[in-house]
Amino acid sequence: MPTQVVTSDLFRRHDNIGHPENAERTLVMYQAVQQSPLVDYLTFIEPVLYPEEPLYQIHSERMIEKIKEISASQNSWLDLDTYVCTHDFETARYAIGGTVQLIKNVQEGAANNGFALVRPPGHHATTQTSMGFCLFNNIALAAQELVNQGKKVLIFDLDVHHGNGTQDIFYDSDNVLYQSFHLSPHFPGTGAVKEIGIEEGKGYTVNAPLSFGHGDTAVETLMKEVFLPIATQFNPDFILVSSGFDSHYADPLGGMHLTVDMFGWLLEQLLPIQPRLVCTLEGGYNLSVIGQCLISQLSVLCGHPLFYKDTVVEQNGWKPILTSIKNKMKRYWDI
């Protein structure tokens, strides 16, 4: 069974040439994959349109109707960061639908795993508000489809920005384990260690707020001592990954010091816990690097890992963060 990649020119309709989250992002990533040795091991599929009705399971009517109304007639801005283009009510639903289609294909045995090379991204969109370049929360809506089937879902977020929307949506749920490492202080200002969930969801949100310059060593240690032990005990039926490549050290909107190979390494660690795994694109704005980051992950997914000569100086000082997370999480998990 192949690794499937959802991709389409439809996603380039969502575009603002002066904005970091523009149509060229997916184009350069697709071209990089096509020029790589991986192309023979991948199957590329078109996205399906996600219906309107399930949007209301996650997002408010006001939020949905606002995007629908604007995209019917004009290009506009929802806030200083987040734009809407004509046809975006449809384009954004193709981004969700592509992710959901990959999950369905993995469940039915048509694919081993997959990557949704879709946009606009989603992990900042909350129940009530589109923000942070995101219109609807692609990964949350996809996870909700699995929860509706009685499945347990691990959402692993490796974007440099905390996925406040995803956390918000599942903050009281014990069916979804949300794990994130991210730069702090940084946009959107959430993701503190103390944010662990509420009610039945207590202990099912695990945040690792890292500082400027923290890199591979810090993340490797967090994976081995916190994220992986908790994920193993949770025993998910499916893993969804918010793949934000702005955690790379060269990203203009970042500040963490991950190297290219770390993006593939993270998937190598998650796959033994649950091989049913689908990634969906979030951030990543350095056009000369994001293609390599995607290839790093795809190469692991399809079983033909590729490696890059990519190094950077890392900053120390992350061990107190590790200790703080362990002290908070040991009430809920054996770590």
Q: Produce one character per residue of 29-65: b if its CB has 16 or more CB atoms within 10 Å, e if not.
A: bbebbeebebeeebeebebeebeeebbeebbeeebbe
Angle at alpha carbon of residue 12, lines to 9 and 52, rounded to 5°: 85
- For residue 156, pLDDT over 80 is answered with yes
**Is residue 167 pLDDT above 80, yes or no?**
yes
What local confidence, expressed as pLDDT, does residue 1 receive? 76
All structural domains of the chain, each given as residue ranges with its CATH number in brackets, are: 3-329 (3.40.800.20)
Model pLDDT, residue 93? 98
Please give the torsion angle defined by the CA atoms of residues 328, 192, 215 and 32, in that order, rounded to the nearest 10 degrees: 120
Average pLDDT over residues 178-196: 98
Report which secondary-structure segment, H or E, holds 95: helix 88-107
Render pLDDT for 301-330 as a digit per residue (tens, 0 to 9).
Answer: 999 999 999 999 999 999 999 999 999 999
Which active-site residues does the annotation give? 124
Judge whether residue 130 has pLDDT over 90.
Answer: yes
